[in-house]
Amino acid sequence: MNLSHLSLLILPLITAFIGWLTNWVAIKMLFEPKQPKRLLGFIPWQGLIPRRQTELAGQAADVIEREIMNHHIISSEIRKMDLTPYLEGSARRLVRDRIAPKLKAIPLLGGLVNEETVAKMENLAVEEVTREAMPVIEKIAIDFESSFNVKEIVEERITSFDLDKLEDIVMRVARREFRTIENLGAILGFVVGLVQLALLYALGNLQF
């Protein structure tokens, strides 16, 4: 069989296109179709991620809770918080802006409330609030551990996450990698076409 050099390129080009198309379709089928459909009227067909979104959410939540962000880690971080500056500021504002004006408005007693008295009250309030800071943080950490379920929250959020937004995020983040996969499909397809030509030549069914 005699073929021109141009004709010989057709087979590798066809297989390259098939390789590229196959990978392109495979990437698209990660998300499409989002709703279940019937291929040829009887074959169930749905994108991988939409079809397994609930299962993927459960597995992802399990990994996040076990390996990344369990409630013990979060409560440990809560215990490291230093609330003293915030509590101190709140105590001073409470005494000066709320308590002191009300005391000054009381007949007879109000005349005894001067700047020195207010300052002493502020310092006393700051001292008491600072003393209670650590017990408050510990109480928050304990309550958090007993009530906060990281896995449940993450699983619920992933399960209810809008698939169009998820697809957009994945495509934007992995666009370069997906393009590489498509190009590799084309390259491999082209190589397969060359191998087929070589086999045909070796078997004597093709002459250059």
* Gyration radius of the chain over CA positions: 35
Reply yes or no on whether the pLDDT at 44 is more than 50.
yes
Supply 109's token pair: 């007693």
Which residues, 6 or more positions from 49, have their beta carbon under 8 angstroms from its beta carbon? 30, 31, 56, 163, 166, 167
CB atoms under 10 Å from CB of 20, counted, come to 20
Cα(95)–Cα(34) distance, integer angstroms: 59
Share of the chain above pLDDT 90, in %: 7
Reply yes or no on whether the pLDDT at 93 is more than 70.
yes
**pLDDT tens per residue, range 5-16:** 556 668 888 889
Beta strands in 23-160 (DSSP E): 37-39, 43-45
Tell me the HSE value of 4 on the side-chain side, using a 13 A CA sphere.
Answer: 2
Average pLDDT score, the chain:
78
Supply 165's token pair: 């937004």
pTM for the full predicted model? 0.54
Contact predicate 201/88, CB 8 Å: no
Which residues, 6 or more positions from 140, have their beta carbon under 8 angstroms from its beta carbon? 78
Mean pLDDT of 87-109: 78
**pLDDT tens per residue, range 108-124:** 666 676 778 778 888 88
Reply yes or no on whether the pLDDT at 1 is more than 50.
no
